[in-house]
């Protein structure tokens, strides 16, 4: 990966920052590291109050697209399709990948946005300050207010974070992508003017710092809390409680016991079944939906890593689905239609989707085989409209009680 750093500054431990920051879900890269696949993590300080919508991916994607186009377009034509330079421009190559020459392979955009999970902020009920034992109070942050509709209002100075997984040629354009996000945040977020400005404080990629804001002095540079950003933390000594999942090997002492693995959807997913979007939970074929992850992974690989196979332990969709069909799948989902505003079409629209949990119960051996693909899906998401953060999930392990 080509890596150019705007500003590399020595960092110090930044204690307790995770108490005030939104988290998004990305698996440990040590577990699901794949060629031509990287995940960027962004830390943001809000400069103007911002009412974050319940499903913020459309807003983030729109701001990113406007900023990326302003940095790359040299003709200023209103539509890319009529531009004589479109074959040499980074904007369509990154933001809206043109149709492939091979008609048998569907074009897939080379990025996925991991939106801030705003409803997690309700876990903290008081305003608090961040402390560093060497530098005393280094930053004071108030908890953003959360409404009953899982929307959040950021005050001036609030810190939040989000992520983006990039694939293929986009991995070599991380400098441009970070610059576009910096510009997008500085220009402001929101559906209407005046847009709400923010400052990109820091950008990391696979454990390396790509960008640090000049507003952060070396003494206040932030060491991003990896355990908070990669929200599938340790698979610890199992008990009756749920544990975040990080390792690709399930505990050996559970080999002879049923194991429950939960796909917890942090954003709605949109799934097309029999050429129609499933809009009601009763109409979802859960096994086929989970099996569609195999096709999602292979489409991403065929588009963006054709020469570097993403080994997930299966060589065909049918073998993957056969394993899924041996599981007991409990469905706990509801309809959650995604409102969004299209600046291009200048209108509001509803994207029909579902959200909730899918509980997969099976034996140790089967779930161990499925786990690499399911963990890769945490980065690639599942279903439609993944570029705006839909289909974002995390895996949770619910082991049986210890005896």
- The predicted structure's pLDDT at residue 339: 75
Phi, psi angle pair for 277, to nearest 5°: -70, 130
344's tokens:
């291009």
Q: Does domain 17-229 have CATH number 3.40.50.720?
A: no
Report the range of poorest mean pLDDT among 38-52, 129-143, 282-296: 129-143
pLDDT digits (tens, 9 = 90+) for 217-247: 555 555 544 333 333 222 222 333 444 454 4
Report the range of poorest mean pLDDT among 22-31, 122-131, 184-193, 381-390: 122-131
- Please list the residue range(s) of the chain that carry CATH number 3.30.70.1890: 17-229
Report the range of poorest mean pLDDT among 49-63, 228-242, 243-257, 340-354: 228-242
Measured over the CA atoms of residue 354, residue 359, residue 363 and residue 369, the dihedral's sign is: positive
Q: Is the pLDDT of residue 304 over 60?
A: yes
**CATH of region 243-398:** 3.30.70.1900
- The predicted structure's pLDDT at residue 103: 57
- Please list the residue range(s) of the chain that carry CATH number 3.30.70.1900: 243-398
Residue of 211 and 346 predicted with greater confidence: 211
For the chain, give percent helix, strand, coil, nearest 5.
30, 25, 45
Q: Is the pLDDT of residue 114 over 80?
A: yes
> Can you tell me the distance from the alpha carbon of 376 to that of 27, in angstroms, rounded to the nearest whole number?
8
- The predicted structure's pLDDT at residue 250: 58
Q: Is the pLDDT of residue 73 over 50?
A: yes
> Can you tell me the distance from the alpha carbon of 36 to that of 65, in angstroms, rounded to the nearest whole number?
22
């Amino acid at each position: 990966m080509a890596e150019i750093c705007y500003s590399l500054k020595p960092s110090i431990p930044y204690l307790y920052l995770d108490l005030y920051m939104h988290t998004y879900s990305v698996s440990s890269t040590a577990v699901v590291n794949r060629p031509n696949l990287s995940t960027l993590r962004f830390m943001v300080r809000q400069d103007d109050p911002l009412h974050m919508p319940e499903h913020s991916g459309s807003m983030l994607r729109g701001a990113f697209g406007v900023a990326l186009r302003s940095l790359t377009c040299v003709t200023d034509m209103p539509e890319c399709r009529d531009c004589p330079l479109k074959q040499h421009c980074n904007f369509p190559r990154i933001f809206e990948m043109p149709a492939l020459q091979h008609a048998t392979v569907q074009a897939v955009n080379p990025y996925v946005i991991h939106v801030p999970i705003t409803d997690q902020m309700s876990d903290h009920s008081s305003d608090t300050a961040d402390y560093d034992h060497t530098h005393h109070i280094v930053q004071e942050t108030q908890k953003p207010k959360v409404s009953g509709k899982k929307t959040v209002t950021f005050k001036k100075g609030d810190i939040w974070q989000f992520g983006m997984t990039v694939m293929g040629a986009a991995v070599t354009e991380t400098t441009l992508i970070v610059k576009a996000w910096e510009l997008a945040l500085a220009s402001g977020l929101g559906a209407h003017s005046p847009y709400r400005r923010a400052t990109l404080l820091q950008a990391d990629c696979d454990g390396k710092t790509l960008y640090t804001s000049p507003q952060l002095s070396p003494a206040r540079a932030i060491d991003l809390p990896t355990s908070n950003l990669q929200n599938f933390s340790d698979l610890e000594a199992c008990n009756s409680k749920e544990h975040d999942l990080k390792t690709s090997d399930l505990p050996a002492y559970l080999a002879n016991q049923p194991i429950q693995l939960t796909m917890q959807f942090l954003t709605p997913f949109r799934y097309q079944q029999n050429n129609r979007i499933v809009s009601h939970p009763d109409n979802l074929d859960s096994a086929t939906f989970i099996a569609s992850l195999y096709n999602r992974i292979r489409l991403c690989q065929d588009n963006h890593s054709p020469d570097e196979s993403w080994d997930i332990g299966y060589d065909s969709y049918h073998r993957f689905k056969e394993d899924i069909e041996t599981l007991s799948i409990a469905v706990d989902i509801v309809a959650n239609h995604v409102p969004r505003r299209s600046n291009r079409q200048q209108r509001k629209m509803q994207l029909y989707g579902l959200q909730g949990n899918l509980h997969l119960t099976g034996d140790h051996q089967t779930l161990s085989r499925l786990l690499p693909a399911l963990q890769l899906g945490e980065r690639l998401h599942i279903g439609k409209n993944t570029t705006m953060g839909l289909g974002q999930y995390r895996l949770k392990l619910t082991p049986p009680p210890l005896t």
